[in-house]
Structure 1
Amino acid sequence: MPTNSGHTTAIRASRVIGTNVYNTGGEKIGEIEDVMLDKAADGIMFAVVGFGGFLGIGEKYHAVPWSMLDYDTNNDGYVVPFTRSQLEQAPAHTIKELSENDGRKARDLSFSYFKAA
């Protein structure tokens, strides 16, 4: 069923992973590397946005609240309401750190940061 903005309420994770992420100025700032699920709450905990690096070396991973990603058909990707600079300054994690402590630490740090960004 589509939302008020015309987006669907259900989407396969395999379709999301690898999708580019842009800021509101249309600049590509990363891509969705993974989606962290909250099994206990039966929902999405956060999107894992990869940023920087080359061929997986030096890449930073950010836990971005799912609600901050808005799919834009013109860009064929997600748009987030923050700048490249704000993402560079956001809490960064390794893939392993994203799931430590059931993902709560990464989620809490990132959610706190992005609400202030």
Structure 2
Amino acid sequence: MSEAASITSYSLIAADKVKGTNVYNPAGDTLGAIDDIMIDKASGRAIYAVMSFGGFLGMGEKYHPLPWAVLAYDADKGGYVVNLDKTVLEGAPNYDRDAQNAWTPDYGQKIDRYYDTPS
């Protein structure tokens, strides 16, 4: 692991440290965990966190791209909090574990519209 990958500070975190971080709702229920981060090539900004959600022992698990703007880091929980419940996530744009997801501009716009975040 490179030195840069192991560095964390109050406002910065290495991408490999985000993977596996739990995502909670405001009540403290675990909704899933961050599986990946989608970064805009031009700006270098994190745009989506891809959360694994549902399933059991890897079966039936779905991947839900969440706009980075809906995540709030909670140091006490050691994870991210989103103001969403499971029913909202069940209807959200998602893809299967084995799917070859094409991250087209249309797909990003669909995610942004669903969560009412700017494109």
TM-score range, shorter chain: 0.7 to 0.9
The alignment status of 1:32 with 2:49, answered yes or no, reads no
Structure 1 residue runs of 4 or more that deviate by more than 3 Å after TM superposition: none
CA contact (8 A) 1:45 1:107 kept: no
Higher helix share: 1
Q: Percent identity?
A: 41
In the TM superposition, what whole-angstrom CA distance separates every residue of 1:30-68 from its partner, at most 9, and x where no partner exists?
110100111122211200011011222211111101111
> Higher mean Cα deviation, 104-113 or 63-72?
104-113
> Could you list the runs of 5+ residues in structure 1 that have no partner in the other structure?
1-6
Instruction: Quote the RMSD (CA, aligned, Å).
Output: 1.9
> Match of 2:83?
81
Q: How many residues align?
A: 107
> Could you list the runs of 5+ residues in structure 2 that have no partner in the other structure?
1-8
* Alpha-carbon separation, structure 2, partners of 1:44 and 1:20: 17
In the TM superposition, what whole-angstrom CA distance separates every residue of 1:49-107 from its partner, at most 9, and x where no partner exists?
1101122221111110111111112221100011111111111113521xx14x53332
SS of residue matched to 1:14: helix
Give the aligned residue type for 1:87: L
> Match of 2:24?
22
Give the TM-score taking structure 2 as reference length. 0.80
Give the TM-score taking structure 1 as reference length. 0.81
Greater Cα radius of gyration, structure 1 or 2: 2
